[in-house]
């Protein structure tokens, strides 16, 4: 953990800011605001990512994921006073900002609203954007929390407004901190209240000098994501994780009976999140391309290993499980999703449909064997043409030989 300690913020005295840095592409933030008397007035710890869909100059659409915020500042963050409530203000990248506002009632305080501003003039983030300039999305929330209680929401929360999707998780926040001490009493979000506690996932970690013990085929589990209109994502698969950390390899079979699934569905992106007592999250992020196909674009994982260390990897530039929209992708044979050199996922009996699920059932599947067939067809055609050519040449030479023999007899 890297801490930047006690720098002045106008209107709020001093600030203690700690950034929790790791291998994750998502950005974990921890912020403690202190008033002029150096007493804590606001505490917040959270993770967030943004997905922005924008139009390009050639009239196509792209989706950009903003998860690595880079260097951040907190100008405008305040403890609040009689005229205005507490505010968390974060600035990052080139002209990007995020603001959370809080209000207070007699016995409660509220996370009143969140606003996110992004700059499509940033060519690094939005190459070939048609509409250059600043854009802001505003989301009223009105999440009411008892005074002197810490709001906690480890579950994934999603805010969507037109072309912007915001994901939040591992949220811990308390405004109007009393007596300078962050409360140990937690007020849980609805999703955390309904989350089930799951047992451990079976793991095997070999010694550093040996290769991992081969694992049996993992059991296939069925996972789903629901939105307000019913089931929006379906997935059936057996999952086997291959992890290498500090030259130690381990193989982990995911037990679907002890694994919980959450996620979210939007028009052009969908998220399936798996978690257990040892897996903090295993994210599968799907995206739409060319307005007519979907594919697995991103995998993020953070989990505790049996040696007590935390393993975290993310890759948002994948291209697996490609199929037409309105269909599902199926592959019964073993496949490997290579997330990084240190992390691979073996899948078994896979079937997934992240978009256009109707009545909670899979649509017609595109089988991965079709990929093999597409590869074999040109080979078969080429072999057939070569065979025909050989027959033609043989017939020609045989006919030529007979022709010469006829001349000799004459």
pLDDT in tens, the chain (410 residues): 333 333 333 444 444 433 333 333 445 788 999 998 999 999 999 989 898 999 999 989 888 888 888 889 999 999 987 678 999 999 998 899 999 999 999 999 999 999 999 999 999 899 999 999 999 999 999 899 999 999 999 888 889 888 899 989 889 999 999 999 999 999 999 888 764 433 333 344 434 434 555 568 999 999 999 887 889 999 999 999 999 887 888 899 999 999 999 999 988 999 999 998 889 899 999 999 999 999 999 999 988 888 888 888 888 889 999 999 999 999 999 999 999 989 999 999 999 999 999 999 999 999 987 454 444 445 555 666 777 778 777 777 776 666 555 555 44
Residues 254 and 243 sit within 8 Å (Cβ to Cβ): no
Per the DSSP assignment, residues forming a β-bridge with 44 are 31, 173
Residues 121 and 95 sit within 8 Å (Cβ to Cβ): yes
Cα–Cα separations (whole angstroms), residue 36 to 9, 80, 107: 10, 12, 25
- The SS3 of residue 77 is coil
Residues 318 and 298 sit within 8 Å (Cβ to Cβ): yes
pTM over 0.75: no
- Phi/psi at 104 (5° precision): -130, 140
Q: How far apart are CA 207 and CA 221, in angstroms?
A: 29
Q: How far apart are CA 237 and CA 220, in angstroms?
A: 5
Which residues contact residue 218 at a Cβ distance below 8 angstroms, ignoring those fewer than 6 apart?
238, 239, 240, 253, 254, 255, 346, 348
Residues 110 and 144 sit within 8 Å (Cβ to Cβ): yes
Task: Give me the helices (H) in 219-259, please.
Answer: none
Mean of per-residue pLDDT scores for the chain:
82
| pLDDT computed for residue 378 by the predictor | 53
Angle CA 349–271–87, to nearest 5? 160
Residues 350 and 237 sit within 8 Å (Cβ to Cβ): yes
HSE value, Cβ hemisphere, 13 Å, CA-based, for 123: 2
| pLDDT computed for residue 208 by the predictor | 42
| pLDDT computed for residue 402 by the predictor | 61
Largest CA distance in the chain: 123
Select from 342, 265, 326, 246 the least CA-distant residue to 293.
Answer: 326
Cα–Cα separations (whole angstroms), residue 25 to 45, 63, 68, 69, 199: 17, 17, 5, 9, 27
Residues 50 and 92 sit within 8 Å (Cβ to Cβ): no
- The SS3 of residue 215 is coil
Which residues contact residue 128 at a Cβ distance below 8 angstroms, ignoring those fewer than 6 apart?
56, 57, 58, 62
- Give me the torsion for CA of 218, 220, 225, 230, rounded to 10°: -170
- The SS3 of residue 400 is helix
- The SS3 of residue 190 is helix
| pLDDT computed for residue 193 by the predictor | 77
Select from 227, 249, 254 the least CA-distant residue to 238.
Answer: 254
Cα–Cα separations (whole angstroms), residue 61 to 116, 401, 408: 20, 65, 75
Select from 346, 350, 369 the least CA-distant residue to 217.
Answer: 346
Strand order in the sheet with 108-119: 72-73, 87-92, 96-104, 108-119, 134-146
Residues 237 and 329 sit within 8 Å (Cβ to Cβ): no
Extract long-range pairs of 96-102: CB within 8 Å, 24+ residues apart: 96/66, 96/69, 96/122, 98/48, 100/44, 102/42, 102/175, 102/176
Q: How far apart are CA 47 and CA 156, in angstroms?
A: 10
């Amino acid at each position: 953990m890297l801490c930047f300690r006690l720098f002045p913020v106008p209107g709020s005295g001093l600030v203690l800011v700690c950034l929790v840095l790791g291998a994750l592409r998502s950005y974990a933030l921890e912020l403690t605001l202190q008033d002029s008397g150096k007493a804590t007035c606001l505490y917040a710890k959270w993770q967030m990512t943004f997905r922005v869909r924008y139009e390009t100059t050639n009239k196509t659409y792209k989706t950009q994921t903003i998860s690595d915020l880079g260097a951040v500042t907190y100008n405008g963050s305040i403890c609040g006073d009689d005229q205005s409530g507490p505010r968390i203000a974060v600035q990052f990248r080139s002209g990007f900002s995020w603001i959370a506002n809080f209000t207070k009632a007699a016995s409660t305080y509220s996370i009143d609203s969140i606003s996110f501003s992004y700059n499509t003039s940033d060519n690094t983030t939005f190459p070939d954007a048609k509409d250059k300039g600043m854009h802001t999305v505003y989301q009223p929330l009105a999440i009411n929390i008892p005074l002197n209680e810490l709001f906690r929401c480890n579950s994934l929360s999603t805010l969507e407004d037109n072309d912007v999707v915001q994901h939040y998780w591992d949220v811990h926040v308390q405004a109007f901190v009393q007596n300078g001490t962050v409360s140990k009493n937690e007020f849980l979000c609805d999703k955390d209240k309904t989350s089930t506690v799951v047992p451990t996932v079976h793991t095997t970690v070999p010694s550093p000098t040996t290769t991992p013990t081969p694992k049996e085929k993992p059991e296939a589990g069925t996972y789903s994501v629901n939105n307000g209109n019913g089931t929006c994502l379906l997935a059936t698969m057996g999952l086997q994780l291959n992890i290498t950390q500090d030259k130690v390899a381990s193989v982990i079979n995911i037990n679907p009976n002890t694994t919980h699934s959450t996620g979210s569905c939007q028009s052009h992106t969908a998220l399936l999140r798996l978690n257990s007592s040892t897996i903090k999250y295993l994210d599968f992020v799907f995206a739409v391309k060319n307005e007519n196909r979907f594919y697995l674009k991103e995998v993020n994982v953070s989990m505790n290993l049996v040696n007590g260390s935390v393993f975290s990897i993310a890759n948002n530039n994948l291209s697996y499980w490609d199929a037409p929209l309105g269909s599902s992708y199926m592959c019964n044979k073993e496949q490997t999703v290579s997330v990084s050199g240190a992390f691979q996922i073996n899948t078994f009996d896979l079937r997934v449909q992240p978009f256009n699920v109707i009545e909670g059932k899979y649509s017609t599947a595109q089988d991965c064997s079709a990929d093999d067939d597409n590869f074999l067809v040109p080979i078969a055609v080429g072999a057939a043409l070569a065979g025909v050519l050989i027959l033609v040449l043989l017939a020609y030479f045989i006919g030529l030989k007979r022709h010469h023999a006829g001349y000799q007899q004459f």
